[in-house]
Amino acid sequence: MSEDRIPLAGSDAPLGATWDGSGVNFALFSAHATKVELCLFEPKGRRETDRIELPENTHQVWHGYLPWVRPGQLYGYRVHGPYAPDAGHRFNPHKLLIDPYARALHGNLRWHDALFGYRVGHRDGDLSFDRRDSAFVMPKCVVVDPAHTWGNDIRPAHPWPETVIYEAHVKGISARNPALPEQMRGTFEGLAAPSTIAHLKRLGITAVELLPIHAFVDDRDLVERGLTNYWGYNTLAFFAPAPRYLTQEGDIGEFKLMVRRLHEAGIEVILDVVYNHTAEGNQMGPTLSLRGIDNASYYILGDDRRYYYDTTGCGNTLDMRHSRALQLVMDSLRYWVEDCHVDGFRFDLATALGREREAFDEHSVFLESTRQDPVLNKVKLIAEPWDVGPDGYQLGNFPPGWAEWNGHFRDTVRAFWRGDEGMAAALADGLMGSAALFEKAGRRPWASVNFITAHDGFTLTDLVSYNDKHNDENGEDNQDGTDNNLSWNCGAEGPTDDPDIQRLRDRQRRNLMATLILAQGTPMILMGDERGRSQHGNNNAYCQDVEFNWLDWAPDHPDRAGFEPFLRGLIAIRRAHRLLQSDKFFHEDPYGRFPGRAQWLRPDSEELDAQDWDNPGTRALGLFLSQPGEALLALLNASDGALDFTLPEPPGGGWRLLVDTGRGFAARRGKPCDAASVSIEARTVLMLESTGR
């Protein structure tokens, strides 16, 4: 090696490949490695041009500085050390490894037996050793120049009580948008396009929650069946955007531009992140990154250290008790906030992150770290409060400052409108922000992220069109996906020409959305529900990169034309009434600082008593919300017959109708209602406001 190509010592911090304007510092943590080699590749990534041993090891970080390297350089690592699975070590220098701190990736992983550290099919299984070079089928890391012109980018910073979330998929939201050129569809640029943003603005949402955008892997069994990991819950790199969402490979500026355009429209960006496991799977999985860098440090291993302690159902679990694994996650989160300006995160299987191995602990290292971090405690943090480990369902148990996906709200509202008995009390609690779950340690109603549908499960249209899942396209004999859908097909399974069933389904969709939008807490809407998107009864469409998983941009079909305007009207009503965006729970305030009041009424306008709440046949109730100068009345009838509802005396003036799901009516200023009572049809929601506000 010539003198001008000899690496300098460099620094052990920061980790990753850091361009300083003159050269690049490379730093990689590995506590148990014996040697680390940096591999450089030519621009197409097909040929390794240099293999350089990192010259220094400081605090278990291997590092070196290369003055001749520039942004755009492709690289990877080979890490030497013991291959001793029984001791938790799986080093194999024949395998090219992704830098955990890589900011961009070049190329896609192509499945081949050379990716595995052991000899696939060998009688000794993962105890065997494979000497084939995996570089020819591995993506390569890219050295990036982080400079980006943000101009006057300003975070919308919507208060939690005013937040309305739209769960979307980067490809799905623009893949069928005819206003976009083909190369932009399904990319960050497609999401940043004026027509896409205009759709979001018209709806009235304040935040998009994007399914995973971190670089991820299509599972081998899916690829062999001609499918893909469409959702993306199989992360390979925590700092790099998925190359499939870029129009120019390695151009992370496209993601940043998307964030800025959404911010300009007043829309926050929340990332769905997967830090609980990686794409390397269990002991029979490939060696792609952390496994080959320092398996024993990054993953929770079992008592028999050959195997992984898995609470994710995906083969492995990251060890948040290890300082360097924790640092990896925290550095990643801060990167997306500080460098990429995102506004929050939804944590997949967050219970796994809050475990101290066996038990969930709200004071776990990870949860305490995020709580005190001066960057992360200023953005929105949302937990998916479950995993597949012991006592995995931890709804309501995350610490102050966190919001949580409220699956109990989803199930209660579905069951109530399906017509199940005994749901009145649970529905009332859900409509009031699920205080039974969240009112502790100073938490607020917004901590309950309410939803009826999400990516995982039926769409809204399918929820009222199918009793059973129909997942045959997934190739798993319809065994995947939940059987507990709490759905009702309204009298026919799947599509039907029966006009009565069609009308009932439309009404049920309006009932479900009205209940969601008018409830205390933070509402979340699934992409495409506003336009009647159907997955043909598939409730686990994780592997379906097809049109039914994409937003339909075609002109409205006559039988759904009114639903999107109805939903826009609901969101506008919510935005116009502070009573629907309360930062406090609606019950006795010992200090008298919160003037809001809530009453639950029977159809005769008397307050419900214990007997009413305990009566399994209670399927109609009214909610009277009031505060000085404002009053709202919601009437919900989930029974099979019409009811007369006596109206309570409004605090000044009279009543005006805002919402009637029987007629598809949702408007800010509706028809005055001068009668002493109203007739509410079967399976209908009415909402009225006082005219004295």
**Annotated catalytic sites, by residue?**
348, 384
Of 100, 110, 50, whose CA–CA distance to 74 is shortest?
50
Query: Across 263-365, where does the E strand assignment appear?
Result: 268-273, 344-347, 355-356, 359-360
- 62 forms beta bridges with 28, 57
The angle subtended at Cα 118 by Cα 115 and Cα 122, nearest 5°, is 120
Contact 274, 56 (CB under 8 A): no
Whether the CA torsion 674, 678, 684, 685 is positive or negative: it is positive
Structure tokens, 56: 């220094």
| Dihedral of the alpha carbons of 222, 227, 231, 235, in degrees to the nearest 10 | 40
Of 141, 310, 284, whose CA–CA distance to 220 is shortest?
284
| Dihedral of the alpha carbons of 300, 407, 544, 550, in degrees to the nearest 10 | -130
Give dist(CA 656, CA 668) in Å, integer.
Answer: 10
Contact 645, 603 (CB under 8 A): yes
For residue 659, the tally of other CB atoms under 10 A from its CB is 27
Contact 618, 612 (CB under 8 A): yes
H or E segment at 560? none
Q: What per-residue string of b and e applies to 391-427 under the rule 16 or more CB within 10 Å gives b?
A: ebebbbbbbebbbbbbbbbbbbbbbbbbebeebbbbb
What's the alpha-carbon Rg for the chain, to the nearest Å?
27
650: DSSP letter: P
Query: Residue 32: CB partners within 8 Å, gap ≥ 6?
Result: 81, 82, 89, 91, 294, 296, 297
H or E segment at 220? helix 220-224
Contact 418, 488 (CB under 8 A): yes
| Tokens 């949402």, residue located | 205
H or E segment at 204? none
Of 383, 392, 223, 208, whose CA–CA distance to 310 is shortest?
392
268-273 and 344-347 as β-strands: parallel, antiparallel, unpaired? Answer: parallel
**Helices 323-338 and 290-298 meet at what angle, rounded to 10?**
120
Give dist(CA 116, CA 113) in Å, integer.
Answer: 6
677-680 and 402-405 as β-strands: parallel, antiparallel, unpaired? Answer: unpaired
